[in-house]
Amino acid sequence: MTPFLQATVYGLLQGGLLALVAVGFSLVWGVMNVVNLAHGALAITGAYFSWQLHESLGLDPVLSLVVVLPVMFMVGYVIQRGLINLVVNAPIWMTLLLTFGLEALIVNGLLLAFTGDFRSTRTGYSTNTLALGGVRIPYARLIAFGLSLLLTVALVLFIRNTKMGLAIRATGMDRTAARLMGMNVRHVYAVTFGTATALAAAAGSMIGLVGTFTPVVAGGYTLQSFVIAVLGGLGNMWGALAGGLVLGLATAWGALYLSGTLVNAIAFGILVLVLIVRPSGLLGKPYYEARAEA
């Protein structure tokens, strides 16, 4: 029973981290109708940013978010205004090509700057664990899980209770009507993308805290974000959290009883099953309502 409980705890903690990676991806897709294939690369950029601050200044990865979040927000804002905004009205395959090229540019830039060596951000508590009976909970993963919940709640409150959040929701519902009402849609889209980039960078900081990373793993995080966004419901912040937890639990449980190859297929098996039973996602609504909730 203990191995199952240990796997369950690990799955929940890992799922929370994956949800933090995916919530920004889901936000951009739900509001802007852009599938950002560079999302994983932006998360890994955040991991390197946090790692560099730790190596140079000794900043704890959690404290480094004070620097990482605003800087990466501005990076995302500039990327949207300077690049993605040029094709936001084009067919979706144009945004896919653009973000795929951006992902390749970021990953290769990171490889040139940092090489392909695996790195991690080691702190004094990285190897410490909390023992609950026969189950051990790493402090680093517990911190990452708590941060995931905190930032998800903060994003929901921002979207629902602030003027900019209401503008994001309105633009997601009907871009043309929002423009006719006097909203600066370009600015709203840039803020949306900047927010998603900052959240991805926060997730990247936690990835470096709980494990290792290298530029070439960026694509895997983008793929997981895609699966989680569809699982939870397009543009639904709570859905992204639920989808991440489901994926984390399923892969952790699967790893107990299945070989590595089959474990890698679990995510897509769950995705297909959910789409058959509930096409709008676990917490999703019909498309037009999901955009209103974004």
- What would the pLDDT profile of 154-169 be if each residue is shown by its tens digit? 999 999 899 999 999 8
Mean pLDDT of 51-76: 94
Number of Cα atoms under 13 Å in the Cβ half of residue 240: 34
Cα–Cα distance list, 145 to 150, 196, 203 (Å): 9, 18, 10
pLDDT at 235 over 90: no
CATH match for 2-293 among 3.40.50, 1.10.10, 3.30.1380, 1.10.3470: 1.10.3470
Handedness of CA 210, 255, 235, 109 (dihedral sign): positive
Euclidean distance between CA atoms 27 and 286, whole angstroms: 16
- Per mean pLDDT, which of 5-19, 118-132, 226-240 is the most reliable? 5-19
Q: pLDDT tens, 22-51?
A: 999 999 988 888 899 999 999 999 999 999
pLDDT band at 290 (very low <50, low <70, confident <90, very high): very low
- Of the two residues 140 and 275, the one the predictor is more confident about is 140
Q: pLDDT tens, 191-219?
A: 999 999 999 999 999 999 998 999 999 99
| Averaged pLDDT of the chain | 87
Euclidean distance between CA atoms 79 and 233, whole angstroms: 26
pLDDT at site 269: 82
Q: What are the residues facing 130 on neighbouring strands?
A: 137
DSSP 136: E
pLDDT band at 88 (very low <50, low <70, confident <90, very high): confident
pLDDT at site 289: 45
End-to-end C-alpha distance for the chain, whole angstroms: 40
Q: Which residue has the tokens 């140079």?
A: 56
Euclidean distance between CA atoms 242 and 173, whole angstroms: 23
